[in-house]
């Protein structure tokens, strides 16, 4: 598999991996506090650290035929706290750490705007998911959004996905995978 390529357009940073076959459906994943530890405005690739449950959880999703796509607000760029090069470096490190566990991302979409910019892509707005769906040819009703904040789930639902917010009952991506994979495909019960 070749390296992921980045594009920067209108404050969105996008990374997509080359694929040999079309994706059937994906799980959209918040990054900070869901996949990796969140020190706040992470700009140091060396500080990327996967959270408990991420490797077995994402392995289950992959085995069940889901692609994995990161959907993340990174207003630290717009605020001038980290550079877009740092954001890219952190993303490459995340890909590296996952690949060491046999996990491959299908893509990542980052909103780099400040909250007050009024963009259409900062969660809870659905813009990043809509762009990812258009780019990857996804049917959003078959996809899930998982994050650690209500704004993640809100973005997923606004985009037409099913959504899950990590909580005391579903504290990590392994328990999230258990829950999602137990649901019948296309059912319209949402949480």
Q: Which CB sits closer to Mg ion, 32 or 95?
A: 32
Q: Is 38 a catalytic residue?
A: no
Q: Is 32 a catalytic residue?
A: yes
Q: Is 122 in the site for Zn ion (CB under 5 A)?
A: yes
Which spans of this chain sit near Mg ion (rule: CB under 5 A)? 30, 32-33, 148
Binding partner at 122 among Mg ion, Zn ion, none, C-beta below 5 to 8 Å by kind: Zn ion
Among 51, 55, 58, 111, binds Zn ion (CB under 5 A): 111
**Long-range Cβ contact pairs of 103-106 (< 8 A, separation 24 or more):** 103/55, 103/58, 103/59, 103/62, 103/68, 104/1, 104/17, 104/62, 104/68, 105/4, 105/15, 105/17, 105/68, 105/69, 105/70, 106/16, 106/17, 106/19, 106/23, 106/26, 106/67, 106/68, 106/69, 106/136
- Closest contact distance (angstroms) between CB of 41 and Mg ion is 13
- C-alpha angle 103/136/96, rounded to 5°? 25
Set 24, 32, 142, 178: catalytic member: 32
- Closest contact distance (angstroms) between CB of 24 and Zn ion is 28
In a 13 Å sphere around the CA of 163, the CA atoms on its Cβ side amount to 21
Binding partner at 125 among Mg ion, Zn ion, none, C-beta below 5 to 8 Å by kind: none
Q: Is 113 in the site for Zn ion (CB under 5 A)?
A: yes
- Closest contact distance (angstroms) between CB of 77 and Zn ion is 10
Q: Which residues are catalytic?
A: 30, 32
């Amino acid at each position: 598999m070749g390296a992921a390529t980045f594009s920067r357009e209108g404050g969105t940073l996008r990374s997509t991996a080359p694929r040999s076959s079309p994706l059937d459906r994906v799980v959209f994943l918040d990054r900070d506090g869901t996949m990796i530890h969140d020190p706040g405005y992470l700009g140091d690739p060396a500080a990327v650290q996967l959270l408990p449950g991420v490797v077995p959880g994402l392995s289950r999703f992959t085995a069940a035929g889901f692609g994995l796509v990161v959907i993340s607000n990174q207003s630290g760029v717009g605020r001038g706290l980290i550079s877009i090069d740092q954001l890219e470096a952190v993303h490459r490190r995340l890909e590296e750490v996952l690949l060491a566990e046999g996990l491959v991302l299908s893509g990542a979409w980052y909103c780099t705007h400040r909250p007050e910019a009024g963009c259409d892509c900062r969660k809870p707005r659905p813009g990043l998911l809509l762009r990812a769906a258009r780019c990857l040819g996804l049917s959003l009703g078959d996809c899930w959004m998982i994050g650690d904040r209500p704004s993640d789930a809100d973005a997923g639902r606004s985009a037409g996905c099913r959504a899950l917010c990590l909580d005391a009952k579903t504290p990590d991506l392994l328990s999230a995978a258990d829950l999602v994979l137990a649901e019948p495909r296309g059912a319209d019960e949402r949480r």
